[in-house]
Homo-oligomer: A and B are copies of this chain.
Amino acid sequence: MSERNFESLRQRLAEFAAERDWDQFHSPKNLAMALAAEVGELLEHLQWLSEAQSKALTEERRAEISLELADIQLYLVRLADKLGVDLVAAAHRKIGINASRYPVDKARGHARKYTEL
Protein backbone atom coordinates (compact mmCIF):
# COMPACT_ATOMS: atom_id res chain seq x y z
CA MET A 1 0.00 0.00 0.00
CA SER A 2 1.13 3.51 -0.75
CA GLU A 3 2.17 5.85 2.03
CA ARG A 4 -0.64 7.33 4.02
CA ASN A 5 0.22 10.94 3.28
CA PHE A 6 -1.88 13.84 2.02
CA GLU A 7 -1.07 13.15 -1.61
CA SER A 8 -2.38 9.59 -1.47
CA LEU A 9 -5.84 10.73 -0.34
CA ARG A 10 -6.69 11.88 -3.84
CA GLN A 11 -5.87 8.53 -5.38
CA ARG A 12 -7.61 6.48 -2.70
CA LEU A 13 -10.80 8.53 -3.11
CA ALA A 14 -10.71 8.22 -6.88
CA GLU A 15 -10.46 4.45 -6.57
CA PHE A 16 -13.18 4.38 -3.92
CA ALA A 17 -15.57 6.18 -6.25
CA ALA A 18 -14.60 4.17 -9.32
CA GLU A 19 -15.18 0.85 -7.58
CA ARG A 20 -18.67 1.96 -6.58
CA ASP A 21 -19.52 3.66 -9.88
CA TRP A 22 -19.98 6.92 -8.00
CA ASP A 23 -18.33 9.29 -10.46
CA GLN A 24 -21.80 9.86 -11.90
CA PHE A 25 -22.75 11.59 -8.63
CA HIS A 26 -19.51 13.48 -8.14
CA SER A 27 -20.12 16.65 -10.10
CA PRO A 28 -18.43 19.68 -8.52
CA LYS A 29 -21.88 21.03 -7.68
CA ASN A 30 -22.87 17.89 -5.80
CA LEU A 31 -19.52 17.57 -4.03
CA ALA A 32 -19.75 21.17 -2.84
CA MET A 33 -23.17 20.42 -1.36
CA ALA A 34 -21.89 17.29 0.33
CA LEU A 35 -18.96 19.26 1.74
CA ALA A 36 -21.34 21.88 3.09
CA ALA A 37 -23.53 19.21 4.69
CA GLU A 38 -20.49 17.79 6.49
CA VAL A 39 -19.62 21.24 7.77
CA GLY A 40 -23.14 21.37 9.18
CA GLU A 41 -22.35 18.25 11.20
CA LEU A 42 -19.21 19.91 12.52
CA LEU A 43 -21.22 22.96 13.59
CA GLU A 44 -23.72 20.79 15.38
CA HIS A 45 -20.98 19.62 17.73
CA LEU A 46 -19.98 23.16 18.61
CA GLN A 47 -23.15 25.23 18.40
CA TRP A 48 -24.12 25.27 22.07
CA LEU A 49 -20.60 25.30 23.49
CA SER A 50 -18.94 28.46 24.66
CA GLU A 51 -15.65 29.33 23.02
CA ALA A 52 -13.89 28.23 26.20
CA GLN A 53 -15.69 24.89 26.13
CA SER A 54 -14.72 24.42 22.50
CA LYS A 55 -11.08 24.68 23.61
CA ALA A 56 -11.50 22.03 26.30
CA LEU A 57 -13.43 19.22 24.67
CA THR A 58 -13.83 15.81 26.20
CA GLU A 59 -11.75 13.17 24.48
CA GLU A 60 -14.91 11.53 23.19
CA ARG A 61 -16.18 14.73 21.62
CA ARG A 62 -12.77 15.48 20.17
CA ALA A 63 -12.71 12.04 18.52
CA GLU A 64 -16.15 12.62 17.02
CA ILE A 65 -15.12 16.01 15.71
CA SER A 66 -11.92 14.61 14.22
CA LEU A 67 -14.06 12.37 12.02
CA GLU A 68 -16.14 15.33 10.91
CA LEU A 69 -12.94 17.15 9.99
CA ALA A 70 -11.92 14.04 8.07
CA ASP A 71 -15.19 14.05 6.13
CA ILE A 72 -14.68 17.68 5.21
CA GLN A 73 -11.10 17.00 4.14
CA LEU A 74 -12.15 14.06 2.01
CA TYR A 75 -14.83 15.97 0.11
CA LEU A 76 -12.46 18.87 -0.31
CA VAL A 77 -9.78 16.64 -1.82
CA ARG A 78 -12.32 14.96 -4.05
CA LEU A 79 -13.79 18.27 -5.23
CA ALA A 80 -10.36 19.71 -5.95
CA ASP A 81 -9.46 16.58 -7.88
CA LYS A 82 -12.59 16.81 -10.01
CA LEU A 83 -11.81 20.48 -10.74
CA GLY A 84 -8.15 19.81 -11.46
CA VAL A 85 -7.10 22.13 -8.62
CA ASP A 86 -3.84 21.56 -6.72
CA LEU A 87 -5.18 22.12 -3.23
CA VAL A 88 -1.85 22.49 -1.46
CA ALA A 89 -0.48 24.93 -4.01
CA ALA A 90 -3.69 26.97 -3.89
CA ALA A 91 -3.59 27.04 -0.09
CA HIS A 92 0.00 28.27 -0.02
CA ARG A 93 -0.81 30.88 -2.66
CA LYS A 94 -3.78 32.05 -0.59
CA ILE A 95 -1.60 32.52 2.49
CA GLY A 96 0.46 34.90 0.38
CA ILE A 97 -2.65 36.82 -0.69
CA ASN A 98 -3.81 37.01 2.91
CA ALA A 99 -0.41 38.29 4.01
CA SER A 100 -0.71 41.24 1.65
CA ARG A 101 -4.35 41.86 2.61
CA TYR A 102 -3.56 41.77 6.30
CA PRO A 103 -0.23 43.51 6.91
CA VAL A 104 0.95 42.80 10.43
CA ASP A 105 0.95 46.44 11.51
CA LYS A 106 -2.61 47.06 10.35
CA ALA A 107 -4.17 43.76 11.32
CA ARG A 108 -2.67 43.11 14.71
CA GLY A 109 -5.02 42.45 17.59
CA HIS A 110 -8.40 42.84 15.92
CA ALA A 111 -10.56 40.87 13.52
CA ARG A 112 -11.68 43.48 11.03
CA LYS A 113 -12.01 42.41 7.42
CA TYR A 114 -9.26 43.55 5.05
CA THR A 115 -11.74 45.77 3.26
CA GLU A 116 -12.12 47.70 6.51
CA LEU A 117 -8.48 48.09 7.49
Contact = CB atoms under 8 A, between A and B. Distances in A.
Interface of A: 4-9, 12-13, 16, 19-22, 25, 27-30, 32-44, 46-52, 54-55, 57, 62, 65-67, 69-74, 76-77, 79-80, 82-85, 87-95, 97-99, 102, 104, 107-109, 111
Number of copies: 4
Leading 6 A-B pairs by shortest Cβ distance = A40-B40, A48-B111, A70-B94, A6-B6, A27-B51, A29-B54
Contacts of A40: 36-41, 43-44
Given A27-B55, A33-B46, 15 more contacts: A8-B92, A9-B91, A13-B95, A22-B111, A28-B55, A30-B47, A32-B39, A32-B42, A32-B46, A33-B36, A34-B43, A66-B80, A69-B76, A69-B80, A69-B87
A95 B51 CA distance: 28
Main secondary structure of the interface of A (DSSP, over half): helix
Given A28-B55, A95-B13, A109-B21, A69 B90 contact: yes
Nearest to A77: B91
28 contacts: A4-B89, A9-B88, A12-B92, A19-B108, A20-B107, A20-B108, A22-B107, A25-B48, A28-B54, A28-B57, A29-B46, A29-B54, A32-B39, A32-B42, A33-B46, A34-B47, A35-B39, A36-B36, A36-B39, A37-B44, A40-B40, A50-B51, A66-B80, A66-B90, A69-B76, A69-B79, A69-B80, A74-B94
